[in-house]
């Protein structure tokens, strides 16, 4: 029984090492996009009604003239 388990474990490991490489699909990033990602500097600026009302979260009662 012990030899059977060892053999099954070895066969499982061998099957895992012979796995196929997954081919890329869909749109791939360009070299410039990958270089930008490697910089690890990002910024997100969002302007909306809450920017001008001083509220962290809007509740729908803001004056429409802010938009």
Q: What are the pLDDT digits (tens) for 5-62?
A: 888 887 777 766 666 788 889 999 999 999 988 988 878 888 777 888 888 887 888 8
Q: Which residue has the tokens 């270089």?
A: 35
Does residue 7 fall inside a structural domain? Answer: no
End-to-end CA distance of the chain: 74
Alpha helices in 18-62 (DSSP H): 31-39, 49-53
> Contact at 8 Å (CB) between 25 and 34?
no
Does residue 67 fall inside a structural domain? Answer: no
Does residue 22 fall inside a structural domain? Answer: no
Provide the number of structural domains found in the chain: 1
Question: Would you call 62 helix, strand, or coil by DSSP?
Answer: coil
Does residue 45 fall inside a structural domain? Answer: yes
| pLDDT at position 30 | 96
| Prediction pTM value | 0.33
Does residue 1 fall inside a structural domain? Answer: no
Does residue 63 fall inside a structural domain? Answer: no
| pLDDT at position 34 | 93
| pLDDT at position 16 | 64
Does residue 41 fall inside a structural domain? Answer: yes
Residue 43's domain comprises 29-57
């Amino acid at each position: 029984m012990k030899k059977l388990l060892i053999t099954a474990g070895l066969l499982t490991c061998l099957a895992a090492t012979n796995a196929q490489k997954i081919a890329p699909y869909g749109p791939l990033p360009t070299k410039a996009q990958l270089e930008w990602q490697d910089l690890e500097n990002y910024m997100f600026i969002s302007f909306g009604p809450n920017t001008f009302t001083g509220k962290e979260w809007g509740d729908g009662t803001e004056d429409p003239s802010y938009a």
